[in-house]
Structure 1
Amino acid sequence: MLQPLVTIICLCYNHERFLKEALDSVLAQTYSNLEIIIVDDSSTDNSPEIVKEYCQKYPQLTYINTGQNVGNTKAFNMGWRASKGKFVIDFATDDVLLPDRIERQVAAFTKLDKTYGVVYSDAEYINDNSEHLYYHSAKYKSAPDGDVFTEVLGRYFICPPTMMMRRSVLEELGGYDENLAYEDFDFWVRSARNWKYSYQPIVTTKRRLHPKSLSRQYYTSEGRMLQSTIKVCEKAANLVKTETEKAALIKRLKYAIRHAYFTSHFVETTQFLELLRQLQEQPGFMYEVIKLLNNNKINFKILRQFYISLRYGKQA
């Protein structure tokens, strides 16, 4: 039986420290029918030279250079539109794939009906030196299966680099929204409305946490990431159909308001508050206070540190 073609889109931007380990993990896959596309988003370090070396050594690799720095969403779409795989993986080249990652996820898809658009799994978080930090499942203990739309509205639980996506999902969505600074929340909201997700309780991927990783820039990106979240929440507000879904989105908005305000993103806090007011006429005393403080641009960063210390037992 012919194996379905799987495309791995390897997104690189200044990953020279991690690039060889990442590409070696792709080349070490036990699954053979692969299309490997490396998209370098105009790196300014030695990444392009490393990619060229690999392409010379492994002619099955396809190399795309964006020509100018365009960001993750546009870079991914360039790779996806040049691809042919039935299934697609969005792989950042500071992460690492376990050798049987693709084999296991394709096997999972073959047991699922065509209403399932995404398979995702547990992950191991590692540091700059590839040392173990913790497992995703230890921090986000509940990973639902099937219809996950309400869940993705209300909370974070999917480790993005563990996802394998059915090509038809991306075709239905038109790929990633290129107007956004990051892709995962938007992809979850738009895809989960019509497609089911399946969870594998196994580690398939090592996700690297380092100071320049995208996830570490959420509250330090001059509001660009928060602006994208606002746009996705606006989309979500137009997609909700039930009171349960609406309550989940309200939960997400209240979380976003607290963190936007306590990081002094006053403009974004106002926008989140306005969207919350459209969904809930009386959001509660806390949010009336935040609105008042925010309107006067009163900086309470120390409160965020206290909140995180109280909630998570550590400093921000």
Structure 2
Amino acid sequence: MFKSLVSIITPAYNASEFISETIDSVKAQTFSNWEMIIVDDCSSDHTREIVRKEMENDKRIKLIELPQNGGPANARNVAINEAKGDFLAFLDSDDLWLPHKLERQLSFMEERDIAFSYTMYQMMDQKGERKVTLIHVPPSIVYKDLLKNTIIGTLTVMLDKRKTGNIQLFPARNCSEDYGLWLSILAKGITAYGINEELALYRKCENSLSSNKLKSALKTWNTYRKIEKLNIFASCWYFMNYSLRALKKHTNL
């Protein structure tokens, strides 16, 4: 149906507990023209062995083994540099996609000739049990909207790199590198468009950085100051808006 190749960007670090399930969710996609680039960030568990075994059965799966740990932003950049597809999709090593995710999103983007899209998603716990609340998304977001809101889930993003141009995450310490990337794209005047349809499952692990609300808030603040270079007054204004939306979001979970 579609000829476009989608490159799936997956950083992995000590992901042996979940990586097989994540790969299975990609292999189950109704759209089949994809490559999955898994960048192992010097894991100390069996992540690499699991991925190598998956590669034997499916040549669309590729493994890059880093000699030393550089963090998820660096791992994503390595995968982006190796990607052969016109479209990039992002999936962390513990999250899942529903079967129609790629087909539905690629159709949405090609029919509208857009550069950046994201979708609704559902939370699940560490055991994979779904929570009741869905994370609904707005129909579109521009740069100033996104400064007030971290609603875009990384596992739902798809980009047409022919329209976004070359992209790289900025690996700033204690910042939200993926959020910073979305902001850098929208700062070019690009609009991101949302599909208010559940197409992905986000695993909320108890020991993950994002599960710590204080750390997450600090990373957002540092993104304003270190990556976006906003002054203190603008940073306070956007952070207040972000905090109110985050409070509402987590209250409903």
1:188 has 2:186 as partner: no
Give the alignment of 1:92-241 within 5 angstroms: 92-113=92-113, 116-137=114-135, 143-145=138-140, 147-168=141-162, 171-172=165-166, 174-180=167-173, 181-193=175-187, 194-217=189-212, 219-220=214-215, 227-234=222-229, 236=230
Letter in 2 for 1:86: D
CA distance in 1, matches of 2:199, 2:88: 15
CA distance in 2, matches of 1:169, 1:175: 14
Q: Is the 8 A contact 1:185 1:232 kept in 2?
A: no
CA distance in 2, matches of 1:97, 1:257: 28
Q: CA deviation at 1:53?
A: 1.2
CA distance in 1, matches of 2:110, 2:13: 33
1:74 has 2:74 as partner: yes
By relative contact order (CA 8 Å, sep 6+), the higher-ranking structure is 2
User: Alpha-carbon deviations, 1:158-193, whole Å to 9, x = none?
Assistant: 222111111135534x31113354322212221112
Letter in 2 for 1:126: M
How many positions carry a matched residue from both structures? 246
Q: Is the 8 A contact 2:41 2:75 kept in 1?
A: yes
CA distance in 1, matches of 2:225, 2:21: 35
Q: Is the 8 A contact 1:218 1:225 kept in 2?
A: no
CA distance in 1, matches of 2:223, 2:213: 10
Q: Is the 8 A contact 1:10 1:37 kept in 2?
A: yes
User: Alpha-carbon deviations, 1:67-102, whole Å to 9, x = none?
Assistant: 111111110010110111111011101000111110
User: Alpha-carbon deviations, 1:204-242, whole Å to 9, x = none?
Assistant: 110000023331246359x677544531341x56xxxxx
Q: Is the 8 A contact 2:149 2:242 kept in 1?
A: no
CA distance in 1, matches of 2:163, 2:134: 25
CA distance in 2, matches of 1:66, 1:229: 30
**Percent identity of the aligned residues?**
26
Q: 1:157 to 1:313 in 2, by over 3 A?
A: closer
Q: Is the 8 A contact 2:137 2:194 kept in 1?
A: no
**What secondary structure is seen at the aligned counterpart in 2 of 1:130?**
coil
Structure 2 residue runs of 5 or longer lacking an equivalent are none
Superposed CA RMSD: 2.9
Q: Is the 8 A contact 2:119 2:137 kept in 1?
A: no
> Stretches of 4+ moved more than 4 A in 1?
223-226, 255-258, 311-314
Give TM-score scaled by structure 1 length: 0.69
Letter in 2 for 1:206: L
Q: Which has the higher helix share?
A: 1
Give TM-score scaled by structure 2 length: 0.85
Q: Which has the higher strand share?
A: 2
**What secondary structure is seen at the aligned counterpart in 2 of 1:23?**
helix
Letter in 2 for 1:175: Q
Structure 1 residue runs of 5 or longer lacking an equivalent are 238-245, 259-307
Answer with 1 or 2: which has the greater Rg. 1
